[in-house]
């Protein structure tokens, strides 16, 4: 695994470009978000998605979320109601995952049983720069150990996933909760998980 430590204030663009090139070649990377470290790949690369599922030790894992570049981008990959748009405009970028009805452009491997998808726009320069340079969304699923516990220390993540992923961008310890998950696919919003994002708007 290639391992690069990012400058905390000015992340080296050359390292981010290396990560993008790995993704373009069908690779899997680990990268920082505004909550925890994510394991990701190109959403349009079936074999890469299967690798991520295998790394998570669940080949049928649902829901594999993905990161979009902006609100306009989200509308390419999900059906966005007026309410969902206003809500996301208010809260994004930020530590939220929004569940929305899937658009046909999204590979069915990323759909859940209700034909919905999870979408993120983290408030993190590195993650968003990767998506922008790549030109399409990337998968995001939390880096966890075999017990399913979140891992915050980059060196521990490196030791666990060294032989499983192709590249890691380290931004130091990310001591945060995972994103809050809000289901906007139905008529009424549902808080699926209370995480780092403030869910008071929905309760």
Q: Is the peptide bond before 63 cis (omega within 30 degrees of 0)?
A: yes
Structural domain of residue 62, as residue ranges?
Answer: 2-202
Per-position pLDDT tens, the chain of length 203: 999 999 988 999 999 999 999 999 999 999 999 999 999 999 999 999 999 988 987 655 556 899 999 999 999 999 999 999 999 999 999 999 999 998 888 877 777 667 889 999 999 999 999 999 999 999 999 998 888 889 999 999 999 999 999 999 999 998 779 999 999 998 899 999 999 999 998 87
Task: Residue 91: give its domain's CATH number.
Answer: 3.90.870.10
Q: Look at the chain and report how many structural domains it folds into.
A: 1
User: Which residues contact residue 7 at a Cβ distance below 8 angstroms, ignoring those fewer than 6 apart?
Assistant: none
User: Which residues contact residue 39 at a Cβ distance below 8 angstroms, ignoring those fewer than 6 apart?
Assistant: 28, 29, 30, 52, 55, 56, 139, 140, 141, 142, 143, 161, 165
Q: How far apart are CA 133 and CA 129, in angstroms?
A: 6
Strands 180-183 and 96-101: parallel
């Amino acid at each position: 695994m290639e391992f690069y430590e990012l400058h905390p204030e000015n992340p080296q663009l050359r390292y981010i470009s290396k990560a993008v090139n790995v993704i373009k070649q069908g690779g899997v990377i680990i990268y920082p978000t505004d909550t925890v470290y994510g394991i990701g790949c190109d959403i349009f690369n079936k074999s890469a998605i299967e690798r991520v599922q295998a790394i998570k030790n669940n080949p049928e894992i649902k829901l594999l979320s993905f990161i979009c570049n902006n609100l306009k981008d989200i509308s390419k990959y999900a059906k966005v109601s007026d309410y969902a748009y206003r809500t996301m405009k208010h809260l994004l970028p930020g530590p939220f995952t929004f569940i929305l009805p899937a658009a046909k452009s999204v590979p069915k491997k990323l759909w859940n049983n209700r034909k919905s998808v999870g979408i993120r726009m983290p408030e993190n320069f590195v993650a968003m720069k990767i998506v922008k340079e790549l030109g399409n969304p990337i998968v995001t699923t939390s880096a966890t150990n075999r017990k399913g516990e979140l891992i915050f220390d980059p060196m521990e993540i490196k030791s666990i996933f060294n032989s499983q992923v192709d590249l890691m961008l380290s931004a130091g310890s990310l001591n945060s909760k995972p994103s809050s998950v809000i289901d906007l696919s139905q008529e009424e919003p549902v808080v699926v998980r209370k995480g780092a994002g403030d869910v008071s708007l929905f309760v």
